[in-house]
Structures are given as structure tokens and as C-alpha cells.
Amino acid sequence: MQSSINRHGFPPDPDELIAEGDPPFADAAEQTAREKAADESLNALQHEVRLLNARIGVLREDAEAALKAKAASVDASAHVQLGDYPWLKLAAAIGATFIAARLVRRLPLGVLLAGFTGHIHEVRRQ
């Protein structure tokens, strides 16, 4: 067994002791049943974590595929309802609504009320 101080005055490196076959502690080579059970339990937990990571990966892939399929379905539906350029037509409709709202806000309140009274009068007649 080596002394606790080497010739340079420093304590020996534990890796050197292990490499020489001399364990740093007398009972270091013996593994108790409790440690073996703990190692087995640790290995089992690591295996379960790897399985869970694999399952999460599969779920992520499934979610991505579902989102892509839904996006394709929505796009196809928009093309069926609005034609070749659905997003351009939708943007034009939103723009027209915005401009109409601006124009209605600028109208005097009396003109609006006159239009509504005429409409209400027609509805009451029927």
C-alpha cells in the first residue's frame, strides 16, 4: 500500500490508487445488498425515463401530424368556399368593412336616425 503522501509532498490521486489495484478504502470493493438493490432500482428508473421520452417523442410527432392535417383541411375548406385566392378575398372583405365603418361614423346622427325611422315605419306597416 502506498503512503498517504507521495514524493512531491502531495496526497496521491485516488484514480492512480484504483488504477494500481489498491482501492482507496478497505471496504470499497465490497458492494452491499442494499447498494445492489439501489443500483438495480436506479437502472429500472433510467429505463422507464428512456421509455417515457420515447413515448413523448411519439406524441409530439402525432400532434404535429394532426396540426398539419388540420391546417391542410382548413386551407382546402377556404379554397372551396372562397375560390382560388381565399385569403386575398377575405382581406378585401375586411378592408371594405373597415372603410364602411369609417364612413358610417362620419355621417351625422340625424341622417342615420332618419334612415332608421323610415325602415321602422315600413316594418310596422307589414
**pLDDT tens digits, residue range 103-125?**
888 877 777 777 777 777 777 77
Cell of 104: 358610417
What residue numbers bound the domain in which 47 lies?
27-81
Residue 29 and residue 17 in contact, taking contact as beta carbons nearer than 8 Å: no
Residue 92 lies in a domain: yes
Q: Determine the pLDDT at residue 83.
A: 80
Q: Determine the pLDDT at residue 2.
A: 47
Say how many C-beta atoms besides its own lie within 10 A of residue 55's C-beta: 10
**Whether 52 and 92 share a structural domain:** no
**91 — pLDDT class (breaks 50, 70, 90):** very high
CA 116 to CA 111: how far, in whole Å?
9
Q: Alpha carbon of 69 to those of 41, 73, 74, 86, 88: distances in Å?
A: 42, 6, 9, 19, 22
56-86 tens-digit pLDDT: 999 999 999 999 999 999 888 878 887 888 8
Residue 1 lies in a domain: no
**Whether 37 and 70 share a structural domain:** yes
Average pLDDT for 98-107 = 87
Residue 112 lies in a domain: yes
Count: domains in the chain = 2
Of 65, 81, 97, at which residue does a domain stop?
81
Residue 101 lies in a domain: yes
**Whether 76 and 90 share a structural domain:** no
**Whether 40 and 51 share a structural domain:** yes
**H helix intervals, 1-126:** 14-19, 33-82, 86-106, 109-125
**23 — pLDDT class (breaks 50, 70, 90):** low
Residue 79 and residue 86 in contact, taking contact as beta carbons nearer than 8 Å: yes
pTM attached to this predicted model: 0.41
**Whether 65 and 97 share a structural domain:** no
Residue 63 and residue 56 in contact, taking contact as beta carbons nearer than 8 Å: no
Residue 40 lies in a domain: yes
Percentage of the chain beyond pLDDT 90 is: 35
